[in-house]
Structure 1
Amino acid sequence: MRKSLHGIHHITAISSDPQANFDFYTRLLGLRMVKQTINYDDPSVYHLYFGDRVGSPGSILTFFPFPNAQAGKVGNGQVGAIGYSISADSIEFWVERFSRLGISFDGPFKRFDHEVISFKDSDGLPLELIADSNRSGVYWTESSLPSAHAIKRFSSTTLLLNNADPTSSLITDVLGFEMVATEGNRTRFAAGTGEDRQLVDIVANPEARRGVPGPGTVHHIAWRCLDADQADWRKAVEANGYNVTPIIDRNYFHSIYFREKGGILFEVATDEPGFAVDQTESELGSRLSLPPWLESRREDIIRQLPPLTTIGQQVS
């Protein structure tokens, strides 16, 4: 099967306080919370989804908040920095905004001919804003940020590894990515086409520490595939020696999971049925969404969840 995955579907990370997490991504970065639901494997834990106005694949960063968890440590065997695209003329806007609001940042600096600002979220998760005018966005119109400077979608992400070779072979030979550039110990790969084209950097450093899971680190990264191709992708990955889960119904998409040789958990997720399966576009993220098999437990689940006040709304 010589096909290519279609870039990043979503990235899931771990946070601590859900309120601080919500405030950072909606009020500081101007993203929309497109879905507030729970971890299907542990309904006492939120699963919060932030993205563009409609929750487009390739814009979604999700979180499992664990309020009392010890902070994680970013390192090898993890996804490192998550890069969002912004317009090339928005760098000055974000530098001024971060400076005014007391957000520490580095840059702007050049990487592969793109200007980059690096910073961290409220739990220390590494983030980047990358000047990339070749992308459009479906902006969250109720954000207070001017649309000209709004975050669009993911531009790139970074995989931190002790040894790049096994993962490079996986994403090129099996998943269909294309190697496009190198810069020092950073190798860049591309997947998808046109405005959906996204970049994946592998940074190999055998001297770096191993990552420790916890708030401020990425749990897994999900790649996009066509619904009709998912079973074929599962067979292809399994045929190359990886232990792959069965196809799992995540209500908003269907997923398979496997761990690449460097230890990073990969998911392959479908675009369909999407986040509008249980809410209209105007309702997205406005109340706690539960899958049909947990709806009868709504009151009990809400009692277990920590308080979360969204813009003008209490979780209900």
Structure 2
Amino acid sequence: MNLKGFHHLTAVTADAPGNYRFYTEALGLRLVKKTVNQDDTSAYHLFYADGVGSPGTDITFFDWPVGRERRGSHSVTRTGLRVGSEASLGWWQQRFKTLGVQQAGIAEENGRPTLAFEDHEGQRLALVVDSHGDAHPWEQSPVPAEHQIRGLGPITMSVADPDPTDMVLTKLMNMTAAGRSGDTLIYRMDGPGAVGELHVTVDPSLPPAQQGAGGVHHVAFNIPYADYDAWASRLRSMRVPNSGPVDRFWFKSLYFREPNGVLFELATDAPGFATDEPMDKLGTTLSLPPFLENRRTEIEAGLKRL
């Protein structure tokens, strides 16, 4: 029962059309699923990923009419996106300059060349050189295949007290403490390279973050479909308050908060986004799980055009 790395990360936008433009046109990711928040069908849930919608490549967004995030602790503070080579970082640095994307200089972080940047709402991101795992470029991306984003990792969260979080990560979730870099603790999962690396920064001086546009809602970890029931039993047996089983149709989920308040999800690697759409048509129409299909007309009427 080991985690396979990250499954997806879900953030918040207050500008779905601008979000769609940035992540598909500027970053060249594929919109693999255009759906709604199943708990709030007035809001889009947009999934951007690699060319085939692989688990571990998705950055997803809820579209809510909210103000900007107030940054702080008890939150995910940066999302890493993997690229294949240091030459790609130079290409992206020039692209960001041309597009006017806010960026920092290329620097080495934890042994990997890294280019930190932000989207138009202040979402904190970083391109990280890591060539582990398979690459699945999107043929229609405006970004050349050799420079395309390969997936997630590492992801950084901030906590005030590391000890309770460490207990959950190592004893419940079977991560391995892999050292530290300054005030940042590094944890490893079974995923190859950076997709299996969670960073926990310790800063008790920060106030708790207030969620909003440009912030992260939750981070999801990848589990084999066959292990789902065992993970549900594990959470129960260790008396971890959690959502209980939740079927999202494209994957199954379990939700719980770690002790510093960051929302975690365990999400299965199957059945996948091609369950209800052909691979070549992913994300081209509004996709709804079967239990919402009878409300399609109502739901579509409440959504803005992308």
TM-score (norm 1): 0.93
Q: Which residue of 1 aligns with 2:49?
A: 51
Quote the offset at 1:238 in angstroms.
Answer: 3.0
Q: Which residue of 2 aligns with 1:133?
A: 131
1:283 to 2:296 alignment: no
Q: Which residue of 2 aligns with 1:173?
A: 171
Q: Which residue of 2 aligns with 1:5?
A: 3
1:1-316 superposed matches below 5 A: 3-66=1-64, 68-88=65-85, 89-194=87-192, 197-308=195-306
**Per-residue deviation, residues 125-156 of structure 1 (Å, max 9, x unmatched):** 10000011334311111101111111101121
Q: Would you say the 8 A contact 2:35–2:44 is kept in 1?
A: yes
Q: Which runs of 4+ in 1 moved over 6 A?
A: none
Q: Would you say the 8 A contact 2:84–2:131 is kept in 1?
A: yes
Q: C-alpha separation between the residues in 2 aligned to 1:273 and 1:243? A: 26
Letter of the 2:46 counterpart: L
Q: C-alpha separation between the residues in 2 aligned to 1:239 and 1:147? A: 46
Q: Would you say the 8 A contact 1:136–1:195 is kept in 2?
A: no
Quote the offset at 1:209 in angstroms.
Answer: 2.0
Q: Would you say the 8 A contact 1:78–1:159 is kept in 2?
A: yes
**Per-residue deviation, residues 2-57 of structure 1 (Å, max 9, x unmatched):** x3111111111110110000001000000000000011111111110000111110
Q: C-alpha separation between the residues in 1 aligned to 2:41 and 2:236? A: 30
Quote the offset at 1:239 in angstroms.
Answer: 2.9
Quote the offset at 1:296 in angstroms.
Answer: 1.9
1:272 counterpart SS class = strand
Q: C-alpha separation between the residues in 1 aligned to 2:116 and 2:106? A: 8
Letter of the 1:83 counterpart: G
2:179 counterpart SS class = strand
| Count of aligned pairs between the two proteins | 305
Quote the offset at 1:178 in angstroms.
Answer: 1.4
Q: Would you say the 8 A contact 2:189–2:197 is kept in 1?
A: yes
Structure 2 unaligned runs (5+)? none
Across the aligned residues of Structure 1 and Structure 2, the Cα RMSD in angstroms comes to: 1.3
Q: Would you say the 8 A contact 2:102–2:119 is kept in 1?
A: no
Q: Would you say the 8 A contact 1:16–1:215 is kept in 2?
A: yes
Quote the offset at 1:196 in angstroms.
Answer: 8.1
2:270 counterpart SS class = coil
Identity of aligned residues (%): 35
Alpha carbons of structure 1 residues 196 and 56: separation in structure 2 relative to 1, 3 Å: farther
Q: Would you say the 8 A contact 1:85–1:135 is kept in 2?
A: no
Q: C-alpha separation between the residues in 2 aligned to 1:14 and 1:197? A: 21
Q: C-alpha separation between the residues in 2 aligned to 1:120 and 1:267? A: 24
Q: Would you say the 8 A contact 2:34–2:47 is kept in 1?
A: yes
Q: C-alpha separation between the residues in 2 aligned to 1:74 and 1:7? A: 25
**Per-residue deviation, residues 264-298 of structure 1 (Å, max 9, x unmatched):** 11111111111011001001000000111221221
**Per-residue deviation, residues 87-128 of structure 1 (Å, max 9, x unmatched):** 222111011111111111112111111111111112111000
Letter of the 1:207 counterpart: S
Q: C-alpha separation between the residues in 2 aligned to 1:195 and 1:103? A: 27
Alpha carbons of structure 1 residues 294 and 193: separation in structure 2 relative to 1, 3 Å: closer
1:271 counterpart SS class = strand
Q: C-alpha separation between the residues in 2 aligned to 1:103 and 1:126? A: 12
Alpha carbons of structure 1 residues 196 and 164: separation in structure 2 relative to 1, 3 Å: closer
Q: C-alpha separation between the residues in 2 aligned to 1:195 and 1:117? A: 17
Quote the offset at 1:195 in angstroms.
Answer: 5.9
Quote the offset at 1:252 in angstroms.
Answer: 0.4
Q: Would you say the 8 A contact 1:73–1:216 is kept in 2?
A: no
Structure 1 unaligned runs (5+)? 309-316
Q: C-alpha separation between the residues in 1 aligned to 2:195 and 2:37? A: 29
Quote the offset at 1:241 in angstroms.
Answer: 3.4
Which deviates the most, 194-203 or 182-191? Answer: 194-203
**Per-residue deviation, residues 237-267 of structure 1 (Å, max 9, x unmatched):** 3333320122111010011111110001111
Q: C-alpha separation between the residues in 1 aligned to 2:184 and 2:285? A: 41
